[in-house]
Each structure stands twice: as C-alpha cells, then as structure tokens.
Amino acid sequence: MKDRVTEFHGIHNFRDYGGYAARDGARLRSGVLYRSGQHVDATDADLERLATILIATIIDLRGNSERAQYPCARPAGFAAEVLFSDGETATQHNAPHVEAAREVKTAAEAHAAMVNLYGQMPFRPMLIATFRLYFSALADRDGGSLLHCLAGKDRTGVGAAILHALMGVHADDIMADYLLTNIAGNIERRIAAGAATVRSNFGPEMSDDAIRTLMSVDAAYLDRAFDAICASHGSVRDYAREILLVDDAMLSRIEARLLE
C-alpha cells in the first residue's frame, strides 16, 4: 500500500488511489487518480516533483475561507484546471477535523466528534456541489486528476471511497485505501501541522492524544458515512444518482475512462 504514496516535504498524504480490482474483472487505472492534502507548504523541490506528475484537473474540496487562508503553491507552468464550489464545504469556515475539535479535550471526545461529523458530511450542500464537479470531471475530462482538501483525509477520503464503491472496488480495499492516511508520508510532521491549526482555534488544553485522533482516520468514521448514505438513500449507487447526479450515462463514461 505504501508504494502508492509519493513523499513530499510540504504536501501531505499524496498518493495514487487507482490500481484496485473493480467489478467484472476490471481494474482501476493507475497514474490517473491522485489525492492529497493542501499544497500551501510545498517547497520548491516539491513543486518540481509535482510538475512531473501528469495532472490535468484539480478538484479542491475546501471552502472559500480555507482557500484564502491556505493558498496552494503551484509549479512553474502550471496549467491544470482547478474546480471548486463558491462557498463553504464545512461549517465554522474550517476543515472537518478542525470543526470537530470544538469543545473536545480527550481522545474519546475527539473520536465521537469525528464519527458524528462523518454522518453529516455526505449531505452538506456545498460539499455535494463539489462532489458533483468531481464526478463530472472524471466522466468528461481527459488526463489525470487530483482530489484534495486541507488534510486530504476526511472530505477527500469520503469522495475517493464513493468513487471506489461506484467502480465496484471491494469493501476491504476501500477501507484499506482510506486508512492509508495513517501511514502515508511523514505522519508526525502532518500531525504537528494540524495541531498548530487546531490549537490556534481552540486553545492549548486539548490533549495530545485528542489531536492525534483528529488528525488520523478510523474505520468507524468511514463506516458512519456509508451507514448514513445507505440509511437515507438505500445504497451508495442511489445516493450518487439522486444527490450527486451521477446517472447511468455518466457512470458509464467514468467506467470507460477509469477501468481497464
């Protein structure tokens, strides 16, 4: 799994989420589906390396406030189209893990807050709007794509997992890809960066274990998102059809571009 990860100094959680076995003996293509956190701290060396990865479209799941506070650095000659929704994809004008930190002091409280948050995330209007851009891009745009948010683990994790489910990736592989966040790249540097943001918003009294819980992922989080989707719509496929507007024709176009 760690072979999927491209290590950068200032870009966290960058990896290929293609290559998995899909339905009917097909396989998701490698080298066209990438995911990561934000790029505001990218070094010059990071940007030079990023420029060698063929990315035509970037889907930015962050809200306006996050993009203004953490503008992504771009390599020289940057030509990818960046897609995003005009609004906030999380409440409190923060990333979900920062939002969940409100009134949290212990790891147990942080875990409960994240589980609750994941039950809400698939139904947030501006995040839905950006997921629609994501699936439309996968259906109709040539070249590789990069899906990212602030930490590259919550909104990005849910979006990637929905795509995997629609492509018929096995549930075990969906979860393994999601949990790869916990071992991808320099974990301590990523957690330290997240801790600075969380503590600047909510004070120093939060425990280190609570910070680590907020900056990691857990199977219970993604399970809660899928449980909420299925409770509301019956299946991930019906949710995608009814909420994300991925009709059968769009799904067929995505399959044609991504499956081999």
Asked whether residue 39 carries a pLDDT value surpassing 90, the answer given is yes
| pLDDT in the model for residue 58 | 98
Query: Taking Cα atoms as reference points, which of 148, 141, 165, 130 lies closest to residue 245?
Result: 130
The rounded mean pLDDT for the chain is 91
Partners of residue 148 on adjacent β-strands: 36, 60
Q: Which residues are catalytic?
A: 149
The per-residue pLDDT for range 45-100, each reduced to its tens digit, is 999 999 999 999 999 999 999 899 899 999 999 999 999 999 998 765 566 666 66
Choose between 193 and 242: higher pLDDT.
242
Residue 104: per-residue pLDDT:
76
Closest CA to 139 of 254, 256, 18, 260: 254
Cα(42)–Cα(46) distance, integer angstroms = 6
pLDDT at 101: 61
